[in-house]
């Protein structure tokens, strides 16, 4: 995958088949959110919140974001 910036990688995480638990009897996949830039599913929420704040005019260029974790 080639992207222009790290934000484009958020949410494009791989689906990985779990083979060892179920063998060939079932096909079970997990979504590997640790592959997000911040290593967490929280990346999706943070991006959505920032984009919404920018769109509504609450967050302007040069504005401050305070993020508690």
Q: Which residues are catalytic?
A: 42
**Cα(8)–Cα(25) distance, integer angstroms:** 35
Question: Rounded to 5 degrees, what are φ and ψ at 15?
Answer: -95, 125
Contact residues for 13 (Cβ-Cβ < 8 A; gap 6+)? 31, 32, 33, 34, 35, 36
């Amino acid at each position: 995958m080639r992207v222009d910036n790290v934000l484009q990688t958020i949410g494009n995480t791989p689906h990985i088949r779990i083979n060892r638990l179920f063998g060939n009897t079932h096909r079970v996949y997990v979504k590997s959110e640790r592959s997000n830039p911040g290593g967490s599913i929280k990346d999706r929420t943070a991006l959505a919140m920032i984009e919404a704040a920018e769109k509504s005019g609450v967050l302007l260029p040069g504005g401050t974001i305070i993020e508690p974790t």
